[in-house]
Amino acid sequence: MGDVKIESSWKQCLQQEFDKPYFTQLTAFVRTEYQRTSCFPPGKLIFNAFNLCPFDKVKVVIIGQDPYHEQGQAMGLSFSVPDGIAMPPSLVNIFKEIQADLGVAMPASGNLTRWAQQGVLLLNATLTVRAHQAASHQRKGWETFTDAVIKVLNERCEHLVFILWGGYARSKAALIHRDRHLVLESVHPSPLSANRGGWFGNHHFSQCNAYLCQHGITPIAW
Protein backbone atom coordinates (compact mmCIF):
# COMPACT_ATOMS: atom_id res chain seq x y z
CA MET A 1 0.00 0.00 0.00
CA GLY A 2 2.77 2.39 1.06
CA ASP A 3 1.40 5.72 -0.09
CA VAL A 4 -1.63 6.60 2.02
CA LYS A 5 -2.84 10.19 1.64
CA ILE A 6 -2.83 11.22 5.29
CA GLU A 7 -1.34 14.14 7.25
CA SER A 8 2.46 13.75 7.48
CA SER A 9 2.86 13.39 11.28
CA TRP A 10 0.29 10.57 11.28
CA LYS A 11 1.94 8.98 8.26
CA GLN A 12 5.18 8.79 10.19
CA CYS A 13 3.51 7.27 13.28
CA LEU A 14 1.41 4.77 11.34
CA GLN A 15 3.66 3.79 8.44
CA GLN A 16 4.25 0.33 9.92
CA GLU A 17 0.46 -0.27 9.88
CA PHE A 18 0.20 0.81 6.23
CA ASP A 19 2.90 -1.74 5.36
CA LYS A 20 1.09 -4.70 6.99
CA PRO A 21 -0.80 -7.30 4.92
CA TYR A 22 -4.14 -6.57 6.62
CA PHE A 23 -3.98 -2.93 5.52
CA THR A 24 -3.25 -3.92 1.92
CA GLN A 25 -6.33 -6.18 1.99
CA LEU A 26 -8.40 -3.45 3.65
CA THR A 27 -7.37 -0.94 0.98
CA ALA A 28 -8.32 -3.35 -1.79
CA PHE A 29 -11.71 -3.98 -0.15
CA VAL A 30 -12.46 -0.27 0.32
CA ARG A 31 -11.38 0.61 -3.21
CA THR A 32 -13.63 -2.10 -4.69
CA GLU A 33 -16.59 -1.03 -2.52
CA TYR A 34 -16.26 2.61 -3.56
CA GLN A 35 -16.10 1.59 -7.24
CA ARG A 36 -19.07 -0.79 -7.07
CA THR A 37 -21.53 0.98 -4.84
CA SER A 38 -22.25 4.20 -2.97
CA CYS A 39 -20.09 4.50 0.18
CA PHE A 40 -19.48 7.17 2.82
CA PRO A 41 -17.69 9.40 3.61
CA PRO A 42 -16.45 10.68 0.23
CA GLY A 43 -13.05 9.11 -0.52
CA LYS A 44 -11.08 12.29 0.13
CA LEU A 45 -12.58 12.55 3.64
CA ILE A 46 -11.81 9.01 4.87
CA PHE A 47 -8.82 10.31 6.87
CA ASN A 48 -10.35 13.73 7.63
CA ALA A 49 -10.05 13.26 11.42
CA PHE A 50 -6.28 12.84 11.06
CA ASN A 51 -5.80 15.57 8.47
CA LEU A 52 -7.58 18.18 10.63
CA CYS A 53 -5.82 17.13 13.85
CA PRO A 54 -2.11 16.29 13.45
CA PHE A 55 -0.58 13.76 15.86
CA ASP A 56 1.31 16.29 17.96
CA LYS A 57 -1.80 18.49 18.35
CA VAL A 58 -4.09 15.80 19.84
CA LYS A 59 -5.50 16.66 23.27
CA VAL A 60 -8.77 14.71 23.33
CA VAL A 61 -9.93 11.51 21.59
CA ILE A 62 -13.66 10.87 21.11
CA ILE A 63 -14.29 7.35 19.83
CA GLY A 64 -17.30 6.58 17.64
CA GLN A 65 -18.16 3.30 15.96
CA ASP A 66 -19.28 3.74 12.36
CA PRO A 67 -19.69 6.66 9.93
CA TYR A 68 -23.24 7.89 9.28
CA HIS A 69 -24.65 5.90 6.38
CA GLU A 70 -27.16 8.31 4.83
CA GLN A 71 -26.48 10.78 2.02
CA GLY A 72 -24.50 13.89 2.93
CA GLN A 73 -23.99 13.10 6.62
CA ALA A 74 -20.55 11.46 6.97
CA MET A 75 -17.52 13.73 6.84
CA GLY A 76 -14.80 11.57 8.37
CA LEU A 77 -15.27 12.91 11.92
CA SER A 78 -17.12 10.86 14.54
CA PHE A 79 -20.55 12.32 15.43
CA SER A 80 -20.08 15.32 13.08
CA VAL A 81 -22.26 16.33 10.11
CA PRO A 82 -21.53 19.06 7.53
CA ASP A 83 -23.12 22.52 7.71
CA GLY A 84 -26.71 22.48 6.48
CA ILE A 85 -27.33 18.83 7.41
CA ALA A 86 -29.85 18.14 10.19
CA MET A 87 -28.20 17.05 13.42
CA PRO A 88 -28.66 13.34 14.20
CA PRO A 89 -30.25 12.64 17.61
CA SER A 90 -26.95 11.61 19.27
CA LEU A 91 -25.36 14.91 18.31
CA VAL A 92 -28.36 16.87 19.62
CA ASN A 93 -27.91 15.07 22.96
CA ILE A 94 -24.17 15.87 22.96
CA PHE A 95 -24.94 19.57 22.56
CA LYS A 96 -27.69 19.40 25.22
CA GLU A 97 -25.15 18.02 27.69
CA ILE A 98 -22.59 20.71 26.71
CA GLN A 99 -25.27 23.35 27.32
CA ALA A 100 -26.17 21.92 30.73
CA ASP A 101 -22.52 21.31 31.69
CA LEU A 102 -20.86 24.51 30.43
CA GLY A 103 -23.71 26.90 29.61
CA VAL A 104 -22.73 26.97 25.91
CA ALA A 105 -25.76 27.57 23.69
CA MET A 106 -26.80 24.94 21.14
CA PRO A 107 -25.02 25.73 17.83
CA ALA A 108 -26.82 26.07 14.51
CA SER A 109 -24.56 23.50 12.82
CA GLY A 110 -23.42 20.00 13.76
CA ASN A 111 -20.10 20.48 11.99
CA LEU A 112 -17.37 19.59 14.51
CA THR A 113 -14.42 20.72 12.37
CA ARG A 114 -13.79 23.48 14.94
CA TRP A 115 -13.28 20.79 17.62
CA ALA A 116 -10.86 18.86 15.41
CA GLN A 117 -8.84 22.01 14.75
CA GLN A 118 -8.46 22.51 18.52
CA GLY A 119 -7.01 19.04 19.06
CA VAL A 120 -10.04 16.76 19.36
CA LEU A 121 -9.44 13.56 17.37
CA LEU A 122 -12.94 12.48 16.30
CA LEU A 123 -12.10 8.84 15.62
CA ASN A 124 -14.57 6.28 14.30
CA ALA A 125 -13.44 2.69 14.84
CA THR A 126 -14.53 1.93 11.26
CA LEU A 127 -13.73 4.68 8.77
CA THR A 128 -16.04 3.75 5.88
CA VAL A 129 -19.55 2.36 5.33
CA ARG A 130 -21.82 1.33 2.48
CA ALA A 131 -24.78 3.66 1.90
CA HIS A 132 -27.88 2.78 3.96
CA GLN A 133 -26.14 -0.27 5.53
CA ALA A 134 -24.91 0.34 9.06
CA ALA A 135 -21.85 -1.69 10.08
CA SER A 136 -21.32 -2.92 6.49
CA HIS A 137 -17.56 -2.29 6.63
CA GLN A 138 -16.96 -3.63 10.13
CA ARG A 139 -14.49 -6.50 10.66
CA LYS A 140 -12.63 -5.79 7.41
CA GLY A 141 -9.49 -4.39 9.05
CA TRP A 142 -10.41 -0.87 10.06
CA GLU A 143 -10.70 -1.80 13.74
CA THR A 144 -7.14 -3.20 13.72
CA PHE A 145 -5.95 0.09 12.25
CA THR A 146 -7.87 2.36 14.64
CA ASP A 147 -6.81 0.25 17.65
CA ALA A 148 -3.22 0.87 16.49
CA VAL A 149 -4.01 4.62 16.45
CA ILE A 150 -5.26 4.44 20.07
CA LYS A 151 -2.17 2.44 21.10
CA VAL A 152 0.30 4.87 19.52
CA LEU A 153 -1.44 7.84 21.19
CA ASN A 154 -1.48 6.00 24.51
CA GLU A 155 2.22 5.15 24.31
CA ARG A 156 3.73 8.31 22.85
CA CYS A 157 1.60 11.02 24.47
CA GLU A 158 0.83 12.16 27.99
CA HIS A 159 -2.23 13.76 29.57
CA LEU A 160 -4.70 13.00 26.79
CA VAL A 161 -8.42 12.73 27.51
CA PHE A 162 -10.10 9.65 26.02
CA ILE A 163 -13.89 10.01 25.89
CA LEU A 164 -15.70 6.68 25.55
CA TRP A 165 -19.46 6.66 25.07
CA GLY A 166 -21.39 3.39 24.89
CA GLY A 167 -20.32 -0.24 25.19
CA TYR A 168 -18.30 -0.39 22.02
CA ALA A 169 -16.16 2.68 22.76
CA ARG A 170 -15.76 1.61 26.38
CA SER A 171 -14.26 -1.69 25.24
CA LYS A 172 -11.26 0.39 24.08
CA ALA A 173 -10.44 1.41 27.66
CA ALA A 174 -8.24 -1.68 27.96
CA LEU A 175 -5.82 -0.08 25.46
CA ILE A 176 -5.28 3.05 27.59
CA HIS A 177 -2.94 3.66 30.57
CA ARG A 178 -5.07 5.48 33.13
CA ASP A 179 -2.01 6.63 35.08
CA ARG A 180 -0.95 8.76 32.08
CA HIS A 181 -4.30 9.76 30.60
CA LEU A 182 -7.84 10.62 31.70
CA VAL A 183 -10.53 8.13 30.59
CA LEU A 184 -14.13 9.38 30.73
CA GLU A 185 -16.85 6.75 30.21
CA SER A 186 -20.64 6.85 30.03
CA VAL A 187 -23.58 5.43 28.11
CA HIS A 188 -23.96 6.44 24.47
CA PRO A 189 -25.69 9.77 23.66
CA SER A 190 -28.20 8.07 21.32
CA PRO A 191 -31.78 8.56 22.58
CA LEU A 192 -32.15 4.83 23.25
CA SER A 193 -29.28 4.87 25.76
CA ALA A 194 -29.37 8.47 26.94
CA ASN A 195 -33.03 8.37 27.97
CA ARG A 196 -32.37 5.36 30.20
CA GLY A 197 -30.04 7.51 32.27
CA GLY A 198 -26.32 8.07 32.64
CA TRP A 199 -25.79 10.42 29.70
CA PHE A 200 -27.25 13.71 30.89
CA GLY A 201 -25.23 15.02 33.80
CA ASN A 202 -22.06 13.06 32.93
CA HIS A 203 -20.13 16.39 32.91
CA HIS A 204 -17.56 14.99 30.50
CA PHE A 205 -16.90 18.34 28.86
CA SER A 206 -16.15 20.24 32.08
CA GLN A 207 -14.13 17.29 33.46
CA CYS A 208 -12.10 17.16 30.26
CA ASN A 209 -11.29 20.86 30.39
CA ALA A 210 -10.47 20.78 34.10
CA TYR A 211 -7.95 17.97 33.45
CA LEU A 212 -6.36 19.81 30.51
CA CYS A 213 -6.04 23.02 32.58
CA GLN A 214 -4.56 21.05 35.48
CA HIS A 215 -1.78 19.91 33.13
CA GLY A 216 -1.17 23.33 31.60
CA ILE A 217 -2.98 22.53 28.35
CA THR A 218 -5.39 25.00 26.71
CA PRO A 219 -8.96 23.73 27.21
CA ILE A 220 -11.38 23.03 24.36
CA ALA A 221 -13.97 25.63 23.37
CA TRP A 222 -16.83 23.16 23.03
Catalytic residues: 66
**What is the DSSP code string of 207-218?**
HHHHHHHHTT-P
Residue 7 exposed, middle or buried by CB count within 10 Å (0-12, 13-18, 19+): middle
> Between vectors from CA 102 to CA 162 and to CA 65, what angle results, nearest 5°?
35
Rg of the chain (C-alpha set): 17
Q: What is the C-alpha separation between 32 and 97, in angstroms, rounded?
A: 40
User: CA 111 from chain center: how many Å?
Assistant: 13
